[in-house]
Amino acid sequence: MQILTDPGLISFNQEAVDILHSHGAAVESISGDHQSWQVKIPEQVVLGAMNSAPKTVKLGARNPDNTLIMHGDEPRVYLITGSETNIWLDVDFPTYVSKTDSTKEIRVPEFKARRGTVDDLCQSAHVCEHLEMVDGYIRTVNIQDRDITEDNKDVNKFFASLNNNTKHFMSGLTSLKQLDNVVRMAELIAGGEKALENNPIISFITCLVKSPLQFVDDTTETFIEVCRRGLPIVVSSSPQAGTTAPIKEAGIMAQINAEVLAGITLGQLVNPGTPVLYGSVPVRARMDTLGDSYGSVETSQYNIDCVQIARFYGIPNYSTSGVCDPKIPGQQSSIERLFSDIVVTMSGPQFLHCAFGLLDCNSVFCLLQAVLDDAHFKMIEFFLRQPRIDQSELEAMLKQIREVAATPQKLYIGYIRPVLRSGEISGVYPFEGSGEADDVFELAYERMKELLARPVEHIDRKTTARIFEEIPGILPRLNIYETES
């Protein structure tokens, strides 16, 4: 709280300054090339905003069974994909022959990077629809087709995602001019304005904060407009320990909290009761490049810290795990992502952006990696299941122990079967190879193809027709009913 009054924050957005000033913030103009203001927000203004921020946030979905209800004081975790990468990683398995023994052949995964397209986004949304552990979808790839422009990017990314996935969809906006179009699209899908309010099938994320302690002009404007429409939004801050935040844990935590509280305060002053998520994406700097090091141990610690801080305020937390440093799937990516996936999930954030398929610090998306991540989260889910330790269970086990102790073979194997198919025993790793062969990538690839072949429930023909009629800029090739005929 002290940070928000001394030094306060710098806003490059005048409307935010006006709103905060009208509620008691001290404002002082800063001279320079870009117009900006020093804003000092009194503690009681922040506390008032915290009171009006909903402690329970509902994120709806095209399929209502996929609705996410998040209580700020309940450590129930939803796993979400994301976020937008420029690079799509294809995978192939060429065969290599041994130089010393031509009878020996091995298939080796080969990854090829290319720019992401709208077709890739459709594929990603399609597979994530079928990934069992994915609860919600943040687009995973930036669409960079020749016919995609700044003006039509938003409507195409929203339509491609919503048409291939029935889970909750969260996105940022490329152009604020498209906000009304994407909201209208969501209304048409949800069944009208009121229906969208009751079942918010879309939500937004804005990085209005630039660390340290600055409100960016354009994203703050977007944030204010989304809040005015009352749709759920993430107030996200991503300071980097060592460069844009102190390298020490206490420092980066104090700063990120001040940044997120400032954003939440602004949103609640714009439209009290706007559903917001406490968005924390802290990261430590790499010492060799001063780039992000999402794979560092500290990054996971920062995220866990933020989960606890958000819980203190009772506001649902948007946290991050699984982001890793390497550029292709492999041992390093598995180790880094699993470490953070396990520890951050255990801390209980409500909305966990867990980087399904992401590599190279969120610059690369690989569908094969997303399939692997799904299997790994299945293990984490099992690990965190509710244990059954009650009186009847203890009595049953005592009886079992006594029965087996009285037998000559003294084996409990006979008692396995009743629980073998009940879900009480964790499954075999689904990509286990035979013998000593490491077939993980090939088996995951087969699984990926299997999921792509499985149909998804698209938006119905009539609604699709209305969307194409009312919303300008959607690529005709995305209309599956037109391309079918």
Partner 1 sequence: MSKDIIAAIKKNVVQGRKTQEDVGIDDNLARTPGVVELVQQALEINISPQVIITEGLTAGMQVVGEKFSTKEYFIPDMLASAEAVGAAMDIMRPVLESANVETKGKFAIATVKGDIHDIGKNIVAILLKGAGYEVHDLGVDVPEEKVVEFVREEKPGYLGLSALLTTTMTEMGVVIEALKESKLRNSVKVLIGGAAVSIEFAQEIGADAYCVDAFDAVRVLEGYQQTG
Q: Per rule CB under 8 A, is residue 405 in the interface with partner 1?
A: no
Structural contact between residues 30 and 37, judged by C-beta atoms closer than 8 angstroms = yes
- Stretch of residues binding partner 1 (CB under 8 A), selected from 26-34, 247-255, 347-355, 416-424: 416-424
Q: Ramachandran region of residue 24, left (φ > 0), alpha (ψ -120 to 50) or beta?
A: left
Contact segment (CB under 8 A) with partner 1 among 158-166, 337-345, 413-421, 471-479 equals: 413-421
Place of tokens 């509280």: 261
Q: Between residue 425 and residue 484, which ones bind partner 1 under the rule CB under 8 A?
A: 428
Instruction: Out of 32, 387, 418, 476, point to the residue binding partner 1 (CB under 8 A).
Output: 418
Provide the minimum distance between the beta carbon of 422 and partner 1 in the complex, in angstroms, as a whole number.
Answer: 11
Q: Which of residues 181-220 bind partner 1 (CB under 8 A)?
A: none
Tokens of 146: 């020749």
Q: Which is nearer to partner 1, 386 or 409 (CB)?
A: 409
Q: By C-beta, is 146 or 417 nearer to partner 1?
A: 417
Smallest distance, partner 1 to C-beta of residue 415, A: 9
Per-residue x/- mask for partner 1, residues 12 to 51, rule CB under 8 A?
A: ----------------------------------------
Which of 34, 99, 146, 417 touches partner 1 (CB under 8 A)? Answer: 417
The span from the CA of 14 to the CA of 16, in Å, is 5
Query: How many of the chain's residues bind partner 1 (CB under 8 A)?
Result: 12
Which are the contacts of 428, defined by CB distance < 8 A and separation ≥ 6?
none
Q: How far is Cα 10 from Cα 7, in angstroms, rounded to an integer?
A: 9
Q: Where are the alpha helices (DSSP H) in 348-406?
A: 367-383, 391-405
Measured distance CA(319)–CA(307) in Å, rounded: 7
Q: Contact with partner 1 (CB under 8 A): which of 95, 103, 331, 409? A: 409
C-beta closer to partner 1: residue 98 or 407: 407
Closer of 388 and 421 to partner 1 (Cβ): 421
Q: DSSP class of residue 428?
A: P
Query: Which of the ranges 153-161, 283-291, 418-426, 453-461 carries the binding residues for partner 1, by CB under 8 A?
Result: 418-426
Among 414, 423, 433, 472, binds partner 1 (CB under 8 A): 414
Residue choice 30, 287, 394, 416 for contact with partner 1 (CB under 8 A): 416
First to last CA, the chain: 60
Instruction: List the beta bridge partners of residue 79.
Output: 352
Which residues, including other chains, have CB under 8 Å from residue 132's CB and lie 6 or more apart? 374, 378
Question: Residue 309 and residue 78: Cα distance in Å, rounded?
Answer: 18
The secondary element (H helix, E strand) that includes residue 21 is helix 14-22
Among 2, 94, 421, 435, binds partner 1 (CB under 8 A): 421
Name which of 285, 281, 286 is nearest 323 in CA terms. 281
Q: Which is nearer to partner 1, 146 or 410 (CB)?
A: 410
Q: In this chain, which of 413, 455, 476, 485 binds partner 1, going by CB under 8 A?
A: 413
> CA 285, CA 353: separation in Å to the nearest integer?
20
Q: Which of 420, 424, 450, 461 binds partner 1 (CB under 8 A)?
A: 420
| Of 241, 215, 243, nearest in space to 17 by CA | 215
Q: How far is the CB of 232 from partner 1 (least distance, A)?
A: 43
Q: Cis omega (within 30 of 0) on the bond before 300?
A: no
Residues that bind partner 1 in the complex, under the rule CB under 8 A: 408-411, 413-414, 416-418, 420-421, 428
